[in-house]
Structure 1
Amino acid sequence: MARIGYARVSTGDQDLEGQLDRLRAEGCEIIRSEKMSGASREGRNELSTVLEFLHHGDELVVTRLDRLGRDTRDVLSIVHECQERGAFVTVLDPHVSTRGEMGHIILTVLGMVAQMERRFIKERQKEGIERAKSAGVYKGGRQRIDYTLIRDLDCHGLGVTAIAERASCSRMQVYRILSAHRVTGNST
């Protein structure tokens, strides 16, 4: 029977150390972590690995419920998968475990609250953007990729890998930018 910790943050610039320290302090023998959005399970390979290797009596430990996911259906699905394997889920803050029936009810309610909170955040963000647009101060998000640089490097005969390295982006992003530019024939 192992205590397996799972830590997650949404973006690369967020820090996992606080979660990892807490999971170590709770006695987790194995800890898997990743930097991926919790909006869906897609692409969350570390979570998939943990779920695949859970055995009867093991315990999946997370610091907060939203580390498992932001969607109630996903969270409940994860809990169900753990139960199917005879494993338990423990959330440290607030301390809730699926070892008892009340734990299931509380996790369901907490999952619904996390999903509702996510919707409220998106609504407030959208309202704020609309207010900023109407006031003429909204400029949009900052451009993270230099499209002109990518097109210029392509014109100079550099390959996609070299372009991606110089532009500090992925090869897939280079392909998309160049493809869109060739289709439209103008700047993207």
Structure 2
Amino acid sequence: MTKIGYARVSTIDQDFEIQQQRLRAEGCVIVRAEKVSGASREGRTELATIIEFLREGDELIVTRLDRLGRDTRDVLNIVHECEQRGAFVTILDPHVSTRGEMGHIILTVLGMVAQMERRFIKERQREGIERAKSTGRYIGSKARIDYQKIRQLSAQGVGVTAIAKEVGCSRMQVYRVLSGAS
């Protein structure tokens, strides 16, 4: 039986060091981490790698449920995939494990609460933006990626990997900008 930890933060500005330390303290032999939104499974390659690696009796451990996912369906699908491989999922805060039947019920309820919380946050954010717009104080968020530079480097024949390094973003973000999906 191997304990495998998964740490996740949503933005580049956040740090997952505390999560990693806690997972190691819980006895995780392997700890994988990534900086990607938990709103969906898209782009979460470290999580996919962990699930693929899981063997019978292994345990996937995360510090909080929202690190695993913010959508109830995603969380339950992840748990189901782990169980299909004979592995368990454990959430440290609050301590819940799929080793027992009660753990499944609690995870379902916690997943629903996380999803509701996400909706409330988005609603409050939208209301705040609308209020700021109506008073003329909303200026939008600061651009994190220089789209013009990406397009310029691409036009000069620079490859996607080199562009990503130059601009300081992922290759996927470069592809999105170049495809016009940004």
Tell me the TM-score normalised to structure 1 length.
0.83
Alignment check: 8 A CA contact 1:9 1:67 kept: yes
Equivalent residue, structure 2, for 1:184 = none
Pairwise CA RMSD: 2.4
| Equivalent in 127, 134, 157 of residue 159 of structure 1 | 157
May I ask how many residue pairs the two structures share in their alignment?
178
Relative distance call for 1:179 and 1:28 in structure 2 (3 A) is: closer
Q: Deviations over 1:94-123 (max 9, x none)?
A: 000111111100000000000000000000
Offset of residue 42 of structure 1:
1.2
* Letter in structure 2 aligned against 1:114: A
Q: Deviations over 1:14-43 (max 9, x none)?
A: 101000000000001111111111111111
Correspondence 1:39-50 to 2 at 5 A = 39-50=39-50
Relative distance call for 1:78 and 1:140 in structure 2 (3 A) is: same
Alignment check: 8 A CA contact 1:54 1:87 kept: yes
Correspondence 1:1-188 to 2 at 5 A = 1-146=1-146, 158-161=156-159, 167-169=167-169
Q: Counterparts of 1:75 and 1:54 in 2: how far apart (Å)? A: 16
Q: Counterparts of 2:116 and 2:131 in 1: how far apart (Å)? A: 23
Alignment check: 8 A CA contact 1:57 1:86 kept: yes
Q: Counterparts of 1:52 and 1:28 in 2: how far apart (Å)? A: 17
Q: Counterparts of 1:69 and 1:95 in 2: how far apart (Å)? A: 16
Q: Counterparts of 2:139 and 2:52 in 1: how far apart (Å)? A: 44
- Post-superposition, which runs of at least 4 consecutive aligned residues in structure 1 deviate over 2 A? 143-154, 157-180
Gaps of 5+ in 2: none
Q: Counterparts of 1:28 and 1:170 in 2: how far apart (Å)? A: 28
The secondary structure found in structure 1 opposite 2:114 is: helix
Q: Counterparts of 1:43 and 1:179 in 2: how far apart (Å)? A: 17
Q: Counterparts of 2:78 and 2:178 in 1: how far apart (Å)? A: 39
